[in-house]
Amino acid sequence: MQPKKNPQSDLRNYSSLLFAFGLCIVLFVSWRAIEAKTFEAQYDYESLNIDDDDDDEIPITEQLKTPPPPPPPPAPEIIEVVEDEKEIEETIIESTETDQEEIVEEVEVMEEEMDIDIPFAIIEDVPLFPGCEKVANSERRNCFQEKMNDHIRNNFRYPEIAQEMGIQGRVFVQFMIGKDGNISGIKTRGPDKNLEKEANRIIAKLPRMTPGAQRGRPVRVPFSIPIQFKLQ
């Protein structure tokens, strides 16, 4: 004999609806749990009241100011009476003005005593290399350069030690053409002592020249020239 049940009272007919309802409740509880905020405990006003703190009372003291001492009384002015009977000696001031002739003589003496070196580029009358005496004044600089280059080529000799060691380069030479036309004060600067020695030897063999002149007076003329040492 089978038991008789009312088909409307069977709970399995509402299983899907109950599952959905239960799922909604679970989601709602989870959402509220996530959105819930926690607040830190707030301090009571009484705990933050700073009126009860003990403040150290600083006594107010008044600084006594002493008045400065009074200034001393002014000294009485003593007026000395001078009699008019004394004679005053007058000093005669001599004139320091000089005539124009005296000024010219002083300038000439100073120019004679001054020993000035005039560079080759700005001197009025350049030193004359032997063979340039008959050349026009405007061409004497070029003639000097040409004669100088010819002298270097004719007396040039490459040092054997520098050739064996493969040394080459440019040597800068500076010297002075004196008031008497002689060469002095030779200075060399180059990559090797052997090359400098050869450049010194070449310049030392320069002939005596006609000295340069500035305002018609002979002066010393410094001159510099590079000498190239190059292996073929």
- The torsion angles phi and psi of 139, rounded to 5 degrees, stand at -110, 5
Using CB atoms within 10 Å of the CB of residue 179, give its burial: 0 to 12 exposed, 13 to 18 middle, 19+ buried: middle
Q: In whole angstroms, give the CA distance from residue 163 to residue 232.
A: 10
Domain 137-229 fold is 3.30.1150
Q: What is the CA radius of gyration of the chain?
A: 58
The answer to whether the CB of 220 falls within 8 A of the CB of 118 is yes
What pLDDT was estimated at residue 137?
87
What pTM, to 2 d.p., does this model score? 0.51
- The torsion angles phi and psi of 229, rounded to 5 degrees, stand at -110, 115
- The torsion angles phi and psi of 161, rounded to 5 degrees, stand at -65, -40
| Per-residue pLDDT tens digits of the chain, which is 232 residues long | 555 556 666 656 677 888 888 888 988 888 888 887 655 544 444 444 445 555 555 555 555 567 777 777 766 556 665 565 556 566 666 655 555 665 555 545 445 545 788 999 999 999 999 999 888 988 999 999 999 999 999 999 999 999 999 999 999 999 999 999 999 999 999 999 999 999 999 999 999 999 999 998 999 999 999 999 998 7
Q: What is the 3-state secondary structure (H, E, C) of 11-61?
A: HHHHHHHHHHHHHHHHHHHHHHHHHCCCCCCCCCCCCCCCCCCCCCCCCCC
Q: In whole angstroms, give the CA distance from residue 185 to residue 193.
A: 17
